[in-house]
Copies of this chain bind each other. A is one copy, B any other.
Amino acid sequence: MSEPVVGGRKLQKERTREALMNTALELSLQKGFAQLSLRQVSQAAGLVPSAFYRHFESMDELGLALVERCFGTLRTMIRDAQRDPEVIEHIIDASAEILVEAVKASKADFAFVVRERLTGSEPVREAIRHELDLFVSELAVVLVRLPNIESWTTEDVQMVARLFVRNMHANAELVVEMPEDRPDLEAKIVELARREMRLIVLGFANWRSS
């Protein structure tokens, strides 16, 4: 275009790149990332198709950039939560509420991870699986510091961590698929998540004596 540019060329390029990513994320909410075409994303971001190549080599590369960004968001939230001693104290009740809050706040990010884990192109799927594994390991590190767990085997702790992540994942899915206009469902999901977590922890507490 012959329009003047607002803040320097580097900044503008970064803005366009982010516009492409945000547009793809938004569109993927409706139809799944693998169904998006390069042309659709470019046009919705206000670009001509060939301009796409100034920012990504392919849709796959854009997908990987999205995975990275989404898990960055997730990891930041978890690390912030870990710093709050009250959260560790009441880990069950807290995690249910945090989860629902977090998912609501970054709905598109969570939806992307939830949906594309099994679906996206092979590289996208693999990247997500890898990030989720990292996530389980991180949670295991937190859990192992809790009283009564220090003595467990690494394998057992990993198993419980996996169970927790799986449940968080499933509940995140519920929130993601929750209709916009039904905030009453939210309370139910929180309650459900809370009870399920408690259920796991109860089994968990009786694990050694079984």
Question: Which residues in A have some Cβ–Cβ distance to B below 8 Å?
Answer: 32, 34-35, 114-115, 118-119, 159-160, 163, 166-167, 170, 173, 192, 195-196, 198-207, 210
| Contact of B210 with A198 in the complex, beta carbons under 8 Å | yes
SS of A interface (majority): helix
Q: Give the Cβ gap from A4 to chain B, nearest Cβ, in Å.
A: 42
Q: Complex: how many Å from CA A115 to CA B125?
A: 12
A and B contact pairs by CB, cutoff 8 A, 9 listed? A32-B34, A119-B119, A159-B192, A198-B203, A200-B203, A201-B203, A202-B206, A202-B207, A202-B210
Q: Which of A160, A199, A204, A210 has the most CB of B within 10 A?
A: A199
Q: Complex: how many Å from CA A34 to CA B167?
A: 27
Q: Which of A32, A173, A203, A210 has the most CB of B within 10 A?
A: A203
